Structure 1
Amino acid sequence: MKNGKVWLAGAGPGDPGLLTVKAKRLIETADVIVYDRLVGDAVLSLIPCGTERIDVGKTSGHHPVPQEEISRILLKEAQKGKKVLRLKGGDPFVFGRGGEEIELLSSHQIPYEIIPGITSAVAVPAYAGIPVTHRDFCSSFHIITAHRKRGDHSLPDFDTLAKLDGTLIFLMGVSALEDICKGLILAGMKAETPAAIIESGTTSRQRRVVAALDTLPERAKEKSVSSPAVIVVGRVCSLENQLAWAEHRPLHGCRIVVTRPKNRASSLAERLEILGAEVLLLPSIQTKSISPNPVFLETIQNLDHYQWIAFTSPAGAELFFEGLHRAGKDSRCLSAHKIAAIGPATAKAVLQYGGLFCDYQPEAFTGESLGNGLSERLLPSDRLLLPRSDIATDQVLKPLIRKGISYTDLPVYETKYQPFFPPVLTPDDIIAFTSASTVRGFVSRMKGCEGMTALCIGEQTAEEAKRFQFETVVAKQATIDSMIEALICYHQERKKKR
């Protein structure tokens, strides 16, 4: 095709878990992504580093890229033959001006698709424990924009709205909150009608203020509520105290950056999200099998020279067995070997990729503990094979050298710093590091991290983080479970101090 194509997709209200499957796939495959301010940071972190980004974000009263120019950008990029994703907060056709952008594309015969998104008008109240409909209170809900065209200062038709006897949901109305509440009361709505304003709904920054209609503006001002926020008016707001759930999760209010390699980040990220954290995925390293690797091929042809094989990471186990299979061998060639793993995650990888249970795992999941344990178990005549990273530390080696244990340090994968698009971080954000190399990869791209908090899987990782002036929270054991436990304790203590 001479022209490319445009997909106009809703990104939802902020929580990346509310992104549609189709929108996520397009984020991963588009050539260029044009996005606005209301697309959540966690959603933006899903954009591959090599994808071209065009920020056309608008804030109240400040439109650096006018709407007409946004439409022209979409047209221009599509005419270059690109796959263009226009990513808009919420749903593109719910006060998102999506229709205007499609009109220009249609007039130039540019192919396009519309991917609906979850609108904040429904999702944000739901995250605050407010159902927009309820049989005991109302049977309809109405979405109103408080933001008019430039130069139009008119207010909604409050006389009609006050008579609807349904839930009223106002979008883009923070600056007009007082006018909205006064207008509804003057139109006949009771001053004691329950109402709410929910700031940054579905994200770690979500806050809700619930009050009577006549006092909501004052209460919101006391709490310094700012946009983006959704205003809800109606009797359903009285249910928020009974049904609220999002803000009661143990990690609500916590925004954490996960720096693990992309193919290993999901287990940690998913568990953090379930506990209420907002997760930004910023892989700072990538692991890749060394290929060609003649030393590896030579070594596996002589596996009978070794009595023990010790794995120091899940990646080492995975890529060792992958290399074994590529060479036409399987785990039967290891039937006479003893297998060791540095910790439970690595032991799980050995079982998953090699079908083997480990013979030894140290009580403390560190390289030093593994080295000490092996040096006590190997006979003087035994030889040890260590398949691991090309930049692995010597922690595991020092005890072996002291005991005179014969070993072969076999690099099976290389660790490289992963480029990423640097986000705007705040002093309250927490960076999760699962190795010293993730620390180095992160700081190679991000500047000004001094004083930020680093969640570290172990002391070695923490020492590396301290070198770059991070404040550290260290897991008691080198496991994901222990990292999460440490994070929950830290977050709860931090909330008590505020």
Structure 2
Amino acid sequence: MSVGKVFLVGAGPGDGKLMTIRGKEVLEKAEVVVYDSLLGPSVLAMIPDEAEAVYAGKRAGNHSMPQEQINALLLEKALEGKKVVRLKGGDPFLFGRGGEELELLAEQGIPFEVVPGISSSFAVPAYNGIPVTHRSYTSSVHIITGHRKNGSLDGIDFEALTKTGGTLVFLMGLAALPEICERLMTAGMPGDRAAAVLERGTQAGQRRVISTLAELPEKVKEAGILPPAIIVVGEVCRLSEDFSWYEKRPLAGYRILLTRPEGRSSKMEDALSALGAEVVASPGVRTVPVEDNGSLKAAIRNLEDYRWLLFTSPYGVRIFMEQMAADEVDVRKLAGVRLAALGKGTAAELKKYGLFADLIPPVYDVETLARCVRDQTEPEDRILVPRARLGNPVLGEILSDRRLEEIPVYETEYRRRSALSETALFEKGEVSCVVFTSSSSVKAFCARNEELDFSLVPAVCIGPQTAKTASESGMRTMVAEKAEMDELVRLVVRLAEEGEIPPVK
């Protein structure tokens, strides 16, 4: 058996959008993922379903797995020939014990690669309008662990830190905040020096307390700030009010669970993220083509026999056209066939192949599509529909007096998350809403969250049929005016403005 490889990957400060391209590439191909506690939900959602996910988180006084055991686990999985990702918050070499985890691997000759990550030391202040350096204030920045070793901060030279005049960033120091502030002042730092504590930076629900060194501990206590949080000491903290930007976006503070099928969520994810939301892309279904589809091949060979070709999803278009290409059937064979597309997304997929829909129903649901086609056909017209195996039966019911042929070309499989607990997020009030773009996505969500009280779930739905499925499970539903992605985004913004969906607690 060949030896595997270990990738030490920095996941960044929390928001999945801040994970590096290389980090995502490596994670997508992982067979084993050993992950930490400080990863945001949008990062956890990136862990492949097929990967073996092992939690190795550490919080103050609570280590789920001792460091020596983590080191041994990485070695064990690599010796099994696996591609192993050690996924760590921030940067793995900045107080992340990355060096310790590589020692055993190097000693045993195991191949490894380090993928740096964006450190919270810089990203979290930036998301709170605090530049850690500024020529008018300071020319240096110093990063210190605030974690007590054996209950003591004696390993930190507070007098030396005070003399630098630079910005000080303490990681993992919230529990020791009063002692840190006291010892800095004892070392000569003035009590009116600006200081801040920044909680859950870069994620929905981030909060900050800006004060002075002397008053910061009490202000933080009053605000109820909790870990993870970092401490920033320096006059640059005074710039926060003028430079703050994150919370000025309309969806800042909102975490949105997006359940679009795999490979179809990026456009909506980008739109919601641009408006300030933290988007957790958690596809509920995976689309799998029907293998060796003899019925589809036969229909393609005889396309000239059909009057209409109906597509109910972009997947149907893609699989149909790929089969035509595989069978070397010229697209000109569609010359006498009229094309109908259910929605703009399906029509846009047709355009990729130089084809334009003759019919797009005014309302994007199967019933309206069927009625529109019925109005434009005669009983003798043959109609071909490449669609999902478990498609909506209403199409066949309305077109029962037509020569309708529905051919399953793909199946939808439910996905289960290997690391992300959606149930826990809703129970803790850490999700504002979930966006559903199909009934199958609703069913998949319910299947993988069987223990969840669905009345806790605000469901933003693309259309009435999707909303009906969500409502039947007990969710509170809201429906877009049109079954379009842009309309869904506008609906989410309006619901946030009107207080119909909550920001993260």
Residues 1:349 and 1:237: Cα distance change in structure 2 (over 3 Å): same
Which residue is equivalent to 2:405? 408
Displacement after TM superposition at 1:407 (Å): 2.1
Which residue is equivalent to 2:38? 38
CA contact (8 A) 1:369 1:396 kept: no
Which residue is equivalent to 2:315? 315
Find out whether 1:463 has 2:468 as its counterpart: yes
Which residue is equivalent to 2:491? 486
Which residue is equivalent to 2:443? 440
Range that drifts further, 159-168 or 78-87: 78-87
Name the TM-score, length of structure 2 as normaliser.
Answer: 0.93
Distance in 2 between the 1:443 and 1:497 partners?
21
CA contact (8 A) 2:312 2:346 kept: yes
Note the residue ranges of structure 1 that are not aligned, 5 or more in a row: none
CA contact (8 A) 2:496 2:502 kept: no
Structure 1 moving runs of 4+ over 6 Å:
495-498
- What SS class does the counterpart of residue 227 from structure 2 fall into? coil
Matches within 5 A, 1:186-197: 186-197=186-197
| One-letter amino acid of the counterpart of residue 439, structure 2 | A
Name the TM-score, length of structure 1 as normaliser.
Answer: 0.94
Which residue is equivalent to 2:344? 344
CA contact (8 A) 1:14 1:43 kept: yes
CA contact (8 A) 2:3 2:79 kept: yes
Distance in 1 between the 2:79 and 2:89 partners?
25
Matches within 5 A, 1:331-480: 331-352=331-352, 354-401=353-400, 404-421=401-418, 422-423=420-421, 424-427=424-427, 428=429, 429=431, 430-447=433-450, 448-451=452-455, 452-480=457-485
Distance in 1 between the 2:25 and 2:194 partners?
40
Higher relative contact order (CA 8 A, sep 6+): 2
- What SS class does the counterpart of residue 408 from structure 2 fall into? strand
Identity of matched residues, %: 44
Which residue is equivalent to 1:130? 130
| One-letter amino acid of the counterpart of residue 332, structure 1 | R
Distance in 2 between the 1:164 and 1:405 partners?
83
| One-letter amino acid of the counterpart of residue 469, structure 1 | G
Which residue is equivalent to 2:87? 87
- Residue deviations 1:408-437 (CA, integer Å, cap 9, x gap): 222222222233325232243222211111
- Residue deviations 1:95-127 (CA, integer Å, cap 9, x gap): 111122222222333332222211110111011
Which residue is equivalent to 1:302? 302
Note the residue ranges of structure 2 that are not aligned, 5 or more in a row: none
Distance in 2 between the 1:315 and 1:300 partners?
17
Range that drifts further, 419-428 or 260-269: 419-428
Distance in 2 between the 1:243 and 1:412 partners?
53
Displacement after TM superposition at 1:344 (Å): 0.8
Distance in 1 between the 2:111 and 2:292 partners?
44
Distance in 1 between the 2:152 and 2:197 partners?
24
- What SS class does the counterpart of residue 3 from structure 1 fall into? coil
- What SS class does the counterpart of residue 399 from structure 2 fall into? helix
Distance in 1 between the 2:287 and 2:248 partners?
37
CA contact (8 A) 2:148 2:176 kept: no
Distance in 2 between the 1:359 and 1:78 partners?
55
CA contact (8 A) 2:171 2:230 kept: yes
Range that drifts further, 447-456 or 434-443: 447-456
- Residue deviations 1:125-183 (CA, integer Å, cap 9, x gap): 01111111111111110111110333445373322222211111110011111222222
Range that drifts further, 164-173 or 39-48: 39-48
Paired residues in the alignment total 495
